[in-house]
Structure 1
Amino acid sequence: MSPSKFFVCFLLIFVKSELVPELNTTQLQDMPLQDPESPEKDPKPSDFQFLITGGYRPKTNKLVKYVVSLRLGKSKKFFGDNHFCAGAIFSPRAILTAAHCLYSNRRKLMPKKLTVIAGTPKRLVKSGSTQIVQAQKLIPHPKYKKGKSQKYDIGIVLMKDDLDLGGSAASIPLYNKAPVAGVECSIVGWGTVIQFGPLPDEVINGDVKILPDSFCRKQLGWSNSGMLCANDQTNTEVDSCQGDSGGPLICDNKVTGIVSFGTGCGEPDSAGIYTDVYHFREWINENSCPRTIYPIRTLLILMLQLQLAFLARVTGVS
């Protein structure tokens, strides 16, 4: 762990015992951020609630509309406390995410256990633009092996209902070429401040660059088949972390990678590992369209209509 992150950990532990009991969830949501142009002040617990590993908040976040929060089960105490992964809106009915987000203890999740939250930058606040949609079908890549390998870490969530796409929620296209080193990208999500630290309320952005394979192959578990790695080499603390899994790596306003895994969060000489979306583009397109399941009665009627049409064509009867 780098010295700066050790300092953050120390402050979190030290200050929490003195101040955190006086704060409740509503206070943390409503607490304003410190103006970056104002004089420096001693850090408070609320400051860390709004930070991520090397992240920042733009005045106008143009990327958050593409990102959803995936929730597991029901909220235990308050809205948003069951966030566990993120995803990218690929179509009104399909969410692109990591395959490992569709499993729990090596067992595939039941769709009824997963809910998609779209249209809001705040994890803990349900607003007028918040959309809550139940998952209908979970599709991890068939070659993904939970607990055995990080390869093929890509999946799709098909929802019961379409998202209302507009200003607060929008679909993002796939990167249309093989990504190369040096491309500037952004990660967006509600991942932890530091490894195993607290989750932020409002979504955080981080800027990184895709790295060459020569660097990536030094990362434990990386493969040049279907994986990318990226970081900010001027500030290695910029990184995705727990809670960012499944979220998009966005380059040129296209989803280029899916947050997959890494060694720690923002460690020196390390990088985040992302599933290469372009590598899996055909699989994504083939599986992201919900297939209509017809009742048996409807299928019999359709078959009868086709048979009658065939007979009419053969006999020349109109």
Structure 2
Amino acid sequence: MTFKIRKMRFSKFIACFLLFFHRIAPYLVQGTNFFFAQLSHRRKFEDDNGTSASDFHYLVTGGYRPATNELVKYAVSVRVGAAKEYFGTNHICGGTIISTRAILTAAHCMYSSRGSLYQARKLMVYAGTPKRLEQAPSTQELRVRQILPHPKYRSGRLRHDIGLILLKEEITTNEHAAIMSLNDKSPSAGLACTVVGWGTVIQFGPSADEAINGDVQILPNSICENLWNFNSNGMICAKNSDDSEVDSCQGDSGGPLFCNNMVVGVVSYGEGCGEKTSAGVYTDVYHYRDWIKANSAVGLKVSLMGLVMVLLLAA
């Protein structure tokens, strides 16, 4: 795989170089394959996911903050373990609320950097919290009952990168947390979409606080097929035709690509972030809709069984 460095202004190049050196130095000392760990998936691992308390202007690379973000209520922050420093520093991925008990995310978000599947009790989901580092009155902290990566997904691979997080308790739906519908038809080239997330400011850069939107368009498969490891059978790609720097990045993994008030894609991987000659790759929700529907209903079935047991014991 070849990684291309795009041209940039000299001042921006210096800033990126310093951020890059800050990130890569520990990996050079430890002998870790930095490029595979950081670029093959759009995520940051749990041991390096904090940021300063500063409020950066960008999050989804090249994105924007609307005066009122109507989409963030459908998104959640997926976190692992306890926050080492302060609230929100253990964020690893995003996700989408598709029912009061089910979160749609990427399968690779369910695995540690060592390739082992997380235990459900290690993960937490936070809904109704547009600021990653601030526990607002609307924030809902939700325990995980079960994690379900797609059965054909293999850790470290890119195919079938989709999964479900089933919750122990129901999400309280309101103006801060709401359910998004699954895409009901195959996405077409040119479709206008918005990616939402809490990812890094720029490639290798720090994560910011408040969720950000980035507007992109679905690209035709004839273009997407030129991307590294792209497969039109279950993947779509998207970018902003007017501004190539608009893109998802590390920490946005598992988060939603919204189009026409439906979740159409799940942030999966990319060759860098905001590269002029590349695009973000997303898992195609419509392709996996039957699997999603069948398995997201498991949480509902379990809760109904629990209700029956309670009624029987009370009788």
Q: TM-score, normalised by structure 2?
A: 0.81
Q: Which shows bigger deviation, 5-14 or 76-85?
A: 5-14
> Given residue 188 of structure 1, which amino acid in structure 2 is its aligned partner?
V
Superposed, 1:267-286 pairs within 5 Å as 267-286=275-294
> Given residue 242 of structure 2, which amino acid in structure 1 is its aligned partner?
T
- Aligned match of 1:292: 302
CA distance in 2, matches of 1:82, 1:101: 13
**CA distances 1:136-184 after superposition (whole Å, capped 9, x unpaired):** 100000000112x311100000011001011000010011111000000
- Aligned match of 2:219: 211
Superposed, 1:20-59 pairs within 5 Å as 28=54, 47=56, 50-59=58-67
- Aligned match of 1:159: 167
CA distance in 2, matches of 1:187, 1:249: 4
**CA distances 1:88-119 after superposition (whole Å, capped 9, x unpaired):** 00001000000000111221110011000010
Cα RMSD after superposing both structures: 2.3
Q: Which runs of 4+ in 1 moved over 3 A?
A: 3-9, 11-14
- Aligned match of 1:126: 135
Superposed, 1:1-318 pairs within 5 Å as 1-4=5-8, 7-8=11-12, 10-11=14-15, 13=18, 28=54, 47=56, 50-104=58-112, 105-147=114-156, 149-289=157-297, 290=299, 291-292=301-302
Instruction: State the 1:2 CA deviation.
Output: 2.8
> Given residue 184 of structure 1, which amino acid in structure 2 is its aligned partner?
A
**CA distances 1:197-223 after superposition (whole Å, capped 9, x unpaired):** 100100010000000000000000100
CA distance in 2, matches of 1:223, 1:265: 19
**CA distances 1:43-94 after superposition (whole Å, capped 9, x unpaired):** xxx545x444110001111100000000010000100000010000000100
Tell whether the 8 Å contact from 1:259 to 1:273 is kept in structure 2 after alignment: yes
> Given residue 117 of structure 1, which amino acid in structure 2 is its aligned partner?
Y
Return closer, same or farther for 1:215/1:25 CA change in 2, 3 Å cut-off: closer
Q: TM-score, normalised by structure 1?
A: 0.80
Unmatched runs of 5 consecutive residues or more in structure 1: 18-23, 29-45, 303-318
CA distance in 2, matches of 1:68, 1:9: 33
Instruction: State the 1:292 CA deviation.
Output: 2.1
Instruction: State the 1:7 CA deviation.
Output: 3.7
CA distance in 2, matches of 1:6, 1:272: 25
CA distance in 2, matches of 1:51, 1:282: 32
- Give aligned-pair identity as a percent: 50
SS of residue paired to 1:236: coil
SS of residue paired to 2:289: helix
- Aligned match of 1:306: none
Instruction: State the 1:9 CA deviation.
Output: 5.5
CA distance in 1, matches of 2:52, 2:166: 31
SS of residue paired to 2:67: coil
Instruction: State the 1:10 CA deviation.
Output: 2.5
SS of residue paired to 1:172: coil
CA distance in 2, matches of 1:5, 1:59: 29
CA distance in 1, matches of 2:160, 2:56: 37
CA distance in 1, matches of 2:205, 2:237: 23
Aligned length: 271
